[in-house]
Chains A and B, each alone.
Chain A
Amino acid sequence: MTSHILLQILVAPVIASIIIFLTRHKIGKKAGWIASITLLYTTALLCIVGLRVYKGEIVLEKYVLGPEVSLNLLADGLSLPVALIINIICIVLALYSIHYVDHRIELIYGEVDKRTWLIYNTRFFLLYLLFPTGFMGVCFSTNLISMYFFLELLTIIPLYFIMAQFGYSDYITRYKVALMCLFWGVAGATLFLIGVLLAHTQIGSFEISELPNLAGNPLTFWIALLIFLGLATKLAIIPLHVWMPWVHAEHPTCIAGLLAVYANIAAYVAVRVLILPLHEDLKVFSMPILVLALITMVYGSLLTLAQTDAKRFCACSTISQLSYSVFGIGALTVLGIEGGMFYFLSHILGKAILFSTAGILVYTIGVRDMRKMGGLWSKMPVTAILWISSALILSALPPTSGFVGKWMLFTGAFQGMYQDPTGLVIVIVAIISTILTLVYTFLTGIRIFFGPLKPELSNDKIKDPPLTMSLPLLGLAVAAFILGVYPKPFLALLHSVIGLL
């Protein structure tokens, strides 16, 4: 069981996906459970790898695919925590989807016969399982081309199909937005690929471990710029953020959480591909990145404050939250990068909860306009608790993981900047602007859950969702609290790689 452990983690979801496809007429509703159990299995494997890595081992598996391109998988202190958290989120959202997809199919396609229903249902899960594979691939691969493959092909294509088939608005808009997502994704990916190919002309290899040879090369600036621009489209840094609210709003909520992961994993790629190998050459970028991140943080938060649509609200919040990670990473100090990565983990936990809670609201009430909600505390207490815990995580209050991340990333940012008055002011403004997160999460929460109950909401249909939806999310909240109180193992893992700078 433990031989080829990383390959198992990577391939198991694909195999499960194929099984679901082949038996689609038989398994019916069980597709979701098959997906969840597969992911539980990979998570268990990840925990085993995690223990080994924590003891100081580095797990490296080599598989040659062809000339120059290899599928080497590397689990070290940086890739493992990221992979573990993402996989946990994948399980939770798979469980959450079981009910949700049922409801979506009914809503989009109306009453369908059993056969059609089965096709749609299994189609969702077989596409869904490609996400964990893609994310794990991005985390573990050591080769730029295979990373590109996982980052782009395995995530964008299922994203396109799921959005087009299970999205929110009418048929035409759905496809339009799905295409928009595809184009932005491909554009970013192409920039990334050009950067990678340009690097290849200089060092003759696609291996990440060879990238430090670029240091001091006159072309490094352009390579870094191209790769960074490619990643910035995913990270929705201003002015490349246009796609985010559209795409997030259009998604079936059950994978919207994964979309936040999809966007945020670019932060991991940036650390892996740019910052660790080319730390010295990136110093020029530090200030522009910080300024852009600051603008995005503030703009994203203000944009969120202006939203009335539950799903767009979450999407805009993602824009600003992503930039926290970028801000920490852009400071280029060890603490800043560690904090940025930790904040990334915290954010995807919190955002998965927030998105799914918004999904629950839309699922039970049937409207997306938050102005039509109010006083739901008495009807849906569990949902309200979920919302509040995600608000705590996102606004980085103690004792959640967000606080540790925020503390570290801003300490790191100050370390690089406090001697220089401009830098000092930028960091101070950045920290104070994070209060906007608190404002929009809690203000909206109060609007939705407190105050008098709206008369049109006082029917018996409105109640807390079934346990398969709420329990996994509560699990995520607990995970975030544990990370906030006892982050030591994760920080030690991150430090074992990033601390080498």
Chain B
Amino acid sequence: MTVVESIRPLLAISCPVTCALLIFLFRKRPNIRESCTIIAGVIQFLIIISMAPIILEGNVIKCHLLTVGAGIVFSYKVDAFGLIFAITSSFLWILVSFYSIGYMRALKEHAQTRYYFLFALAIFSAVSIAMAENLITFYLFYETLTLGTYWLVAHHEDEEAFFGARKYLTYLLTSGWCLFTAVVLTYCITGTTDFVGGGILRSDSASKFTLTVLFVLFALGSMKAAWMPFHSWLPGAMVAPTPVSALLHAVAVVKAGVFGFGRIVCYVYGTDLMSELGLGVILASVAAFTMIVGSFLAIGEDNLKKRLAYCTVSQLSYIIFGMALLSPFGVTGAMIHIPFHGFMKITLFLCAGAIIVIAGKKQISQMAGIGRAMPVTMIAFTIGAIGMCGAPPACGFISKWFLCLGTLQSGQLVFLAVILTSSLLDAVYFFPIVRTAFFEKPAETSGGKVEIIEKKHPIYLFMVIPLAITGIFSIVFCLFPRTFYILDLAEMAVRSLFGGM
């Protein structure tokens, strides 16, 4: 593995930072403000995707930022695993910005400058997390992500929003502090905080007790992954505007949590040490528990966004679960589930948002017959729902396939059963929505033809087009999983971790 020094990571993260400044400068000119976001998003995505060929040749890209001293080194290093996350968040930022224009303007939301500004900062943090070379850099941006998104969650500034935001902050800051503790302890034990494929901890570097405690701290530090019983901040954060729920609580924030798990399992502990300490099985069991219970909680929820939130809780655990299997296929499945779940879940959230804005409905029970009034939205929703259950032709199928192979590869048949049960439960809570939307008659029928309300107003197109695009991508990823180099990168990462499939 050769190291390439390059400023590309710095260029990539400078896009959202510059964008944030421009947003602030043009706060009185909404059109310019929002074009800045989109242009910055496109440039950032192009820079990030341009790194993929270099990575696939077997290089890593390094960019040193700042050495403060005594182990505090801030620097970026892009490897295959990090790039997957970076590509996902930067690409979806473009679409969600586009969507936000429609959503925020249609609802005439207040404080839109603050909203776009913090959004840019959140993406900055998420991409920085993806490219962090060591735990310190990771921790720094983990905290900025938490603090920056507080006002996005509290956007409505009413009592409910503040309550949700306070809960959000309480959970995530506590988690940040646990992470900090773990980072300090790791540095103390190993003298480094760099992520190295195969791990930096060794079984002889500290007692078994210490290593286990350290892992518990790391797991608590990854509360952003919403594993049970530390998940309740995520449904609480659904008070945020829908684009925030979509990008942050389906992609950036929660994926930062599971991404952290990936880094810890594969790059700090290493799969060998994990299995030696028996932590893999424990982690997989926690994840399995979350998968099942999360699905049950989703079944009982009538608010569409909250149901999606519980679905996220359950799906995130697929990723943790894949990592915890400690087998090449499992890890591949987990890695590709990060972008694939991101695309599918964002589709679902964007649909939920579109329904709120266009039809004004939040509860599933009110959505009878909405599929006929909003056909594009509900078709996209159906694709997302199919993907969540892991059925073709949506990309959830691919990642679930790898996860199942992973369970077989590590010889854990019980866990295979867990995945299948959980997928079944996913179907239980998604298909009633689809059925209600398409096949039930609306309660107050005006008789005669149903009007297609999606195209009633041009601003709605800003919402419908992005969700159609993400819906299409959910299918494209199934047919061509190498789009945006995703599968190549995952295989590359796994090869460097395990030395082969």
Contacts and interface: CB of A to CB of B under 8 A. Distances in A.
B452 interface: no
A131 interface: no
A434 interface: yes
Given A414-B188, A487-B68, A431 B173 contact: no
Contacts of A419: 206-207, 210
A404 B207 contact: no
Contacts of B210: 418-419, 424
A329 to B, nearest CB: 16
B143 interface: yes
A404 B185 contact: no
Interface stretch (B4-12, B69-77, B120-128): B69-77
B66 A485 contact: yes
A491 interface: yes
A432 B184 CA distance: 12
A410 interface: yes
B181 interface: yes
Nearest to A397: B143
Contacts of B181: 410, 428, 431-432
Contacts of A415: 188
A411 interface: yes
Q: How would you classify the secondary structure of chain B's contact residues: helix, strand, loop or mixed?
A: helix
A407 B70 contact: yes
Contacts of B178: 432
B299 interface: no
A431 B174 CA distance: 11
Interface in B335-388: none
A418 B184 CA distance: 11
Interface in A484-501: 484-488, 491
A410 B209 contact: no
Given A411-B71, A485-B66, A418 B188 contact: yes
B121 to A, nearest CB: 15
A484 B69 CA distance: 10
B188 A428 contact: no
A438 B184 contact: no
Interface residues of B, number: 25
B213 interface: yes
Interface string B139-167: 01001000000000000000000000000
A418 B187 CA distance: 12
A167 B180 CA distance: 41
Interface string A454-492: 000000000000000000000000000000111110010
Q: Which of B68, B185, B206 has the most CB of A within 10 A?
A: B68
Nearest to A396: B180
B163 to A, nearest CB: 14
Q: Which of B180, B207, B210 has the most CB of A within 10 A?
A: B180
Contact of A428 (B69, B173, B207, B217): B217
Contact of B189 (A398, A408, A418, A428): A418
B68 A484 contact: yes
A435 B177 CA distance: 7
Given A411-B187, A418-B188, A435-B173, 19 more contacts: A335-B70, A407-B70, A408-B70, A411-B70, A414-B185, A418-B189, A418-B206, A418-B210, A424-B209, A424-B210, A424-B213, A431-B181, A432-B177, A432-B178, A434-B177, A435-B174, A485-B66, A486-B68, A487-B69
